[in-house]
A and B are shown apart, each in its own frame.
Chain A
Amino acid sequence: MSDKTAQPDLTRRRLLMAAPLVVAGGAGIAFWQMLSGMRQGSFDPHDIKAPALNRPVPDFTLPDQSPGQGFGAVDLRALKVPVLVNFFASWCIPCVAEMPQLNALKDRLPIWGIAYKDKPADAQGFVRRAGNPYARIASDLSGMTAIDWGVSGVPESFLIGPGGVIRWHSAAALDEATMHDILLPLAASLRT
């Protein structure tokens, strides 16, 4: 082998050696970002992105759930102010934990509740014990309306803008930070 060919051969070998290192390094950085995102909450592989976002609410009419008055898509589409639609159930533990936030919220943003697959008597007792944050309450006994909304479990909340368009969605219990940092500013911007 002459010196002429030895030089490019060596460079090529170095490049070939470096290639797997670069690939492994890149993958490592990507995985590290995913993991730190999961810790900080900015990345959640299990997050279900509701396709309902920025669409009008689906067609439905639901009966009264005592002590509230039932409602349907017609009522939501006739609204001039934003409301929060909250799916809940008496058998759901995170719903119990969410009630203090909803009670703190109800004077600043009207909340309409939908009892999801709950016996009317149980739902009534639950709402009474929780201090009733709801302006209106409807009963979705079969759970079929919830499926139309893309609900995968309770509690789930949807911010409805004027005209009945879904503007925001949370598949988890509302906490104070979400309420103050995201929900209330968004509701305020929809009020103009």
Chain B
Amino acid sequence: MKAAMRRLAFVLATVLTVAISLSPLAAVAVDDPSEMLPDAHQEARAQAIGSQLRCLVCQNESIEDSSAGLARDLRHVVREHVAKGESDRQIMDWMVGRYGNFIRLSPPLTAGTILLWVMPVLALLVGGLVAFLSFRRARGSGPAPLSDDERTRLTDLT
């Protein structure tokens, strides 16, 4: 009985841990509620902008997800600019002006990144072309007509 209870408690704890770690709330690393803007709409905008900015300490996390000191400072800067009424574009430009395009988690469309952006369309076009050509070839050259010997065998069989 006791062992069964313990096992149940363990399963519950595991389920809870997984649920908490998967919940979107846990993904936001705002360390302190006082960091957040009082206006819910502005806070949502700040979070949306922050999730597009790379934490330069951890490099594969956004500043909204990271608990590094620099990420906290940058979150604060983003909220200051949002509260001042700046547009998303203005805030992004402010960040890129200081840290370069590396701070953007999605690279901008430039000559250097054009291949990256058009690759899905390119792959679809090339794949479509290959499919189209092979279908056309398959339709054009059917199996060779039966020879006289084969025809006699066929009539014998049926």
A51 touches B57 (CB 8 A): no
A153 touches B56 (CB 8 A): yes
**Interface residue total, chain B, C-beta cutoff 8 A:** 14
- B24 interface residue per 8 A CB criterion: no
The stretch from A66-74, A126-134, A141-149, A180-188 touching chain B is A141-149
B13 vs chain A, min Cβ distance (A): 36
When distances are taken between beta carbons in the complex, the residues of chain B under 8 Å from A51 are 96-100
A47: nearest residue on chain B (CB-CB)? B102
| Contact A48 to B97, CB < 8 A, known contacts A143-B69, A143-B70, A147-B74 | no
When distances are taken between beta carbons in the complex, the residues of chain B under 8 Å from A143 are 69-70, 73
B57: nearest residue on chain A (CB-CB)? A153
Interface of A is mostly: loop
B100 touches A148 (CB 8 A): no
User: Contact residue range for chain A?
Assistant: 10 to 19
- A136 interface residue per 8 A CB criterion: no
Q: Would you give the 0/1 interface string for A42-57, flagging 1 where the beta carbon is closer than 8 Å to chain B? A: 0000101111100000
B104 vs chain A, min Cβ distance (A): 12
Q: Which of the listed residues A147, A148, A152 has the most CB atoms from chain B within 10 Å of its own CB?
A: A152
A147 touches B57 (CB 8 A): no
When distances are taken between beta carbons in the complex, the residues of chain A under 8 Å from B96 are 51
| Contact A48 to B102, CB < 8 A, known contacts A143-B70, A143-B73 | yes
A147 touches B100 (CB 8 A): no
A117 touches B69 (CB 8 A): yes
Taking A143-B73, A153-B56 as known contacts, 7 extra A-B pairs with beta carbons closer than 8 A to each other, sorted by chain A number, are: A49-B102, A50-B99, A52-B98, A142-B73, A147-B70, A147-B73, A152-B57
Q: List 10 A-B contacts (CB under 8 A).
A: A46-B59, A50-B99, A51-B99, A147-B73, A147-B77, A148-B98, A150-B99, A150-B100, A152-B99, A153-B70
